[in-house]
A and B are shown apart, each in its own frame.
Chain A
C-alpha cells in the first residue's frame, strides 16, 4: 500500500473535557484537521457519557458536513447497570457505525458491519477471522503488538478485505481497572468522584518516588506518560498493508499533529522534519515507540538504515 493512499483517523477523546471544550475541539477538527474518520463517544467511563450529550448533535452535524466518516466508540469496560445500558443504547442505535471496545458490544453487533476497537484483544490471525466472520470491517490492533505480529496480521487481513488500524500518536492506554484512580488520589470513590478527572485534560501525571514522571491516570484507565510517535515507521506499516493510522486526541495541538502526519504521508515532509513539528505542537513529554520494536513500550528507538 502506498503511504499517500493511507487513511488518517482520529480516535475518541479519552479524557474528561467540559462539554464546551469537547464541542469546540470537534468543530476545529471538522474545519481544519485532514483526518478522514473521526471516532466519537465515551470509551473510558460511563459516568461521563451524559456530560456531552447536549452538544453531540451539533458536533455530528458539523463533522458530517465536513465530509468526515463517523464511527461511534463503545465503552471499554462494561460491568455496572449504567455501563450495560450505555452499550445497549449505542449498539442498537439505527444507522450508526460502531467501534466495539468490549465483547459485550459484540453481543449486539454480531452479523452487521462494525469496527473492532483497540480495547478488544485481537492478537492473532484466528481472532481476526472470527471478528471478520462476525461482521468486522476494520480492526484497530493492540498498541503493544510488535512489528512481527503486525506483519502476519496484515497479510491475513488482506485475504478478508478487513482494514487494519493502529494508534500512531498520543498517550498510550496501558490498563483498565474497576477502581477510579483519579477519585482515589482525591480521597473519593468512583461513585462519589464529582468528576474530578476534569481537572486534568491530558490525564494526571504519576511520578515515581525518585520524582520521575512514569504514568498518566485517566479515571479507571492508566496510560503512558510518554507520547507514542510512529512517524518513522509509517512507510513500513503501509508496505505491510496496515493503512489506517490513528491519532489520539490531546487538549492542544491535535489539528497541527494531524496536518503534520498528513503532510508526511503525502510526501511533503520527511520523518525528521515531522519530528520537529510534532515536538513543537504536542505535549512537552518524551516520544516513545518501543512496543513496535519489541522493546519496553516506554523506549524511543531511532531507526537505523539497516532496520528500515
Chain B
C-alpha cells in the first residue's frame, strides 16, 4: 500500500509551528508550506511567556514567508470572555491587516465577526472548536464560511476518511508532537487547579504554577499549584506536570497514568493513509519548542511527505528521537482500541 504513488491527488500542505519570529524563519527555511503563529496575550491557545508575536513581527513574518512561497496562518483560537471580546477583535483586525493567509478561530462569535467584518479573509476552524462530526463541521461551514477544519486528535484514519466524504471544506490533521488527552476546547482542569483558564486565557499548566521538590532519597515531586501531578524516582526523567499526563491512584489501580502516558504523537507511518483519506494539510505541534527541534522535525517531514508523494518509502525512524521521552504513539488515529 505504501508503494502506491499519489499522483492522482494533491500533495498535502505541511503546516508547521512558529512560536517566535526566529522560529518562523527556521520552519520556513526547513521546508514548511505554511506556518501558524499567534499574538502575545490571551488570544491564542499557546499564551506562554516569551512566545508569540507583536503585530509588527507578524507583518514582517508574512513578508518573509511569502517571499519564500510559504503561507502564514494566524491562530486566534481561545474563547473571549464576555466583556473583553474587543481584545480578540483587535487581534483579528491586526492579523487581517498583516495579510495573513488564514485566521484560525475557535469561538463562534469570532467566526461571525470575521465573516461580517472581513468577508474576504480565509478562515480555518481551530482544533479548539472541537468539531468532531460531519454535522458539526457542516454547521460551521454553512454558517460561517469556514474553508478548513483542524480535526480533533480523537478520530481514527477511517473516521477521518468518512468525515472527508461528508463535508464541504478541507481537513487539516495533526501528525506529530505533544498530544493532549482531553477534547480540545472542552477542558477546565488547569482552571480548576490554578485559576487560569485554557479556554479563556489560552494557558495549560502555566509555568508560574509549576514546582519541583526533591526529597532526601532523591524522589522528585512535580506539582501544579499545590497538587501533586507526578513523582519520579532518582534517575527517572521528570516530565512537565500536565494534569492529563500525571500519575494517580484510583480504586482498582495504584500509581498509574490514569489518562495517558507522557508520549508524543507520531503518525509518520500513517502518512500515506492520511493522504489517501483526503487530508489537505498535515500539522506539526510545538510552538513552544526550540528552533533546533523545529528544524529537525520540519526537515524530516518535508522529506517524508515528498518521499511518499513520489511513491517511495522514506526512512522516518529518526523522528522517534524527537518525541517526548523518546516514546511515541499513534494515538486515536490507528484504531479504536486506544479509546
Q: SS class of chain B's interface: helix, strand, loop or mixed?
A: mixed
Taking each of B133, B138, B199, B221, which has the highest tally of chain A beta carbons within 10 Å of its own beta carbon? B133
Q: Does B155 contact A (CB under 8 A)?
A: yes
Q: Does B83 contact A (CB under 8 A)?
A: yes
List residues of chain A with CB within 8 A of the CB of B155. Answer: 79
Per-residue interface assignment for chain B, residues 184 to 220, with 1 indicating a CB less than 8 Å from any chain A CB and 0 otherwise: 0111110111110101100000000000000000000
Contact partner, A207, options B134, B135, B200, B249, Cβ 8 Å: B249
List residues of chain A with CB within 8 A of the CB of B339. Answer: 178-180, 183, 189-191
CB–CB A190/B336 < 8 A: yes
Contact residues, B103-153 vs A (CB, 8 A): 106-110, 112-113, 129-136, 138-140, 143, 152
Taking each of A77, A143, A144, which has the highest tally of chain B beta carbons within 10 Å of its own beta carbon? A144
Query: Chain A: residues with CB nearer than 8 A to chain B?
Result: 76-80, 83-84, 87, 102-108, 110, 119, 121-131, 142-146, 148-153, 156, 172, 174-181, 183-187, 189-191, 200, 204-212, 214-215, 217, 222, 224, 290-291, 294-299
**A-B contact list, 23 entries, CB within 8 Å:** A78-B133, A79-B159, A84-B134, A87-B135, A103-B129, A103-B135, A104-B136, A121-B107, A121-B199, A124-B107, A126-B109, A126-B112, A126-B113, A174-B189, A175-B182, A176-B183, A207-B249, A208-B249, A209-B248, A212-B227, A215-B248, A222-B189, A224-B192
Contact partner, B247, options A87, A176, A209, Cβ 8 Å: A209
Contact partner, B85, options A84, A124, A298, Cβ 8 Å: A124
CA distance A299 to B192 in the complex (A): 8
CB–CB A79/B133 < 8 A: yes
Q: Does B21 contact A (CB under 8 A)?
A: no
* Least CB distance, B159 to chain A, in whole angstroms: 7
List residues of chain B with CB within 8 A of the CB of A210. Answer: 221, 228
Contact partner, A107, options B132, B138, B200, Cβ 8 Å: B138
Taking each of B80, B82, B185, B338, which has the highest tally of chain A beta carbons within 10 Å of its own beta carbon? B82
CA distance A215 to B134 in the complex (A): 32
CA distance A137 to B154 in the complex (A): 31
Contact partner, A208, options B186, B195, B227, Cβ 8 Å: B227
List residues of chain A with CB within 8 A of the CB of B260. Answer: 179
Q: Does B181 contact A (CB under 8 A)?
A: yes
Q: Does B255 contact A (CB under 8 A)?
A: yes
Contact partner, B132, options A79, A105, A212, Cβ 8 Å: A79
CB–CB A149/B227 < 8 A: no
Nearest residue, chain A, Cβ from B132: A79
Q: With A110-B139, A126-B109, A175-B182 in contact, do A152 and B188 touch (Cβ < 8 Å)? A: no
List residues of chain A with CB within 8 A of the CB of B129. Answer: 103, 121
- Beyond the given pairs A212-B227, A297-B195, 5 more chain A to chain B contacts, judged by CB atoms under 8 angstroms and listed by A's residue number, are A78-B133, A127-B108, A181-B258, A209-B255, A217-B250
Sorted nearest first, the 5 A-B pairs with minimum C-beta distance are A126-B109, A178-B154, A152-B82, A190-B339, A297-B192
CB–CB B199/A178 < 8 A: no
Q: Does B79 contact A (CB under 8 A)?
A: yes
Nearest residue, chain B, Cβ from A190: B339
CB–CB B136/A107 < 8 A: yes
List residues of chain A with CB within 8 A of the CB of B133. Answer: 78-79, 83-84, 87, 102, 104
CA distance A214 to B249 in the complex (A): 10
